[in-house]
Amino acid sequence: MKKNRNISIIDLDNLKDREQLFSLFGKHDNNLRYLEELFNVKIFSQGYQVHIEGKHDNQEKVSKILKELAQLIGSGNNLNVHQVQYMIEVMSKTNVKKMDKLINDFVKVDSKRGFVRPKTLGQRNYIKAIRENDITFSIGPAGTGKTYLAMALAVEHLIKHQVDRIILARPAVEAGEKLGFLPGDLVEKVNPYLRPLYDALYDMMGFDRIQTLIDRGVIEVAPLAFMRGRTLNNAFIILDEAQNSTIKQMKMFLTRLGFDSKTVITGDITQVDIPDGNSRSGLILIQEILKDIKGISFSYLHKQDIVRHALVQDIIQAFEKHLDKKDE
């Protein structure tokens, strides 16, 4: 790296062509503009040479990030703008030293996108917890990617032949005694409450592919009550909306875990729909019961991990303030 007064100059000679340079800089140099905003520097490019103007420490950080990215891209890794910006954020906010380690953060799925990536550090830690533990609990508000990321990892395990099937369960607590007034058999009655799970699957694997796998029994979507009495081997099992399970239901579900299986339990303990007086949420109680067991992880996501419309964060924050005042 050459230095000229307060300007650092780095050469990106390891990039093979203009296409790789475009991958690094981004459309309209958006990746460079992102770095400028993060580190309060000015960046100018001249071919395969980049000039960085700003405080020395920030120059060093930006130089390191650009060199790491250039090395990844030059080695044949095809990175889009979202992947590049995610890597920049992680490198700037954590103690991760090498970007090649961040490649493992991307979850392979069977869709045109080809991958699902974490969008926040909280989501990154959540993915890491699932990969390193047989049972992972994910607790956090709506919009933090609890179910979607768990589903992505389930699909990845399936297409990599790490499991033979995916089993998705959800309590049908919302239906309650009204089930009898809905048309159809029991499966048809509870099907509307499982719709979010189907939607995530269709997004990752496509409608026709999912229907084929469901027909073959490779993917099963069922109410929580249907899990009783089963032992689930070689499976990736997800329990969604677990805040609406009782502690007895939670025990029943967790003891379904068989050999070579992985389980993820997701929920938002601020949105419990169990009828008043019936029972406390199993997801709330289980945090104390299982907190010290090795192989079980609790991953907590927060409002800063929300990746839906920006107003969702504001809405959750407003409710938190309202409840805090009510408790005073």
**CB neighbours (10 Å) of residue 55?**
12
Which residues make Cβ contacts (< 8 Å) with residue 136, sequence separation at least 6? 126, 129, 130, 150, 263, 264, 265, 296, 297, 298, 299
Tell me if 322 sits within 8 A of 161, measured CB to CB. no
pLDDT digits (tens, 9 = 90+) for 130-175: 999 999 999 999 889 999 999 999 999 999 999 999 999 988 765 4
CA–CA distance, 118 with 80 (Å, rounded to integer) = 14
Tell me if 248 sits within 8 A of 282, measured CB to CB. yes
DSSP string, 41-93: -EEEEETTEEEEES-HHHHHHHHHHHHHHHHHHHTT----HHHHHHHHHHHHH
**What is the token pair recorded at 171?**
């309590």
Which residues make Cβ contacts (< 8 Å) with residue 309, sequence separation at least 6? none
Tell me if 219 sits within 8 A of 213, measured CB to CB. yes
Note if the pTM is more than 0.85. no
Amino acid at 250: M
Q: What is the pLDDT along the chain (328 residues), one digit of tens a residue?
A: 544 457 888 988 888 788 888 888 888 888 898 889 888 999 998 888 999 999 988 898 889 888 888 888 888 777 776 677 777 777 777 777 677 777 667 888 876 667 888 888 889 899 999 999 999 999 999 889 999 999 999 999 999 999 999 999 988 765 444 445 555 555 566 667 778 888 888 888 888 998 999 999 999 988 888 898 899 999 999 999 999 999 999 999 999 999 999 999 999 998 888 776 556 899 999 999 999 999 999 999 988 788 766 677 678 778 878 877 766 6
What domains appear along the chain, each with residue ranges and CATH number?
2-105 (3.30.1370.10), 115-307 (3.40.50.300)
pLDDT digits (tens, 9 = 90+) for 216-238: 999 998 888 889 889 999 999 99
Q: Is 162 left (phi over 0), alpha (psi -120 to 50) or beta?
A: alpha
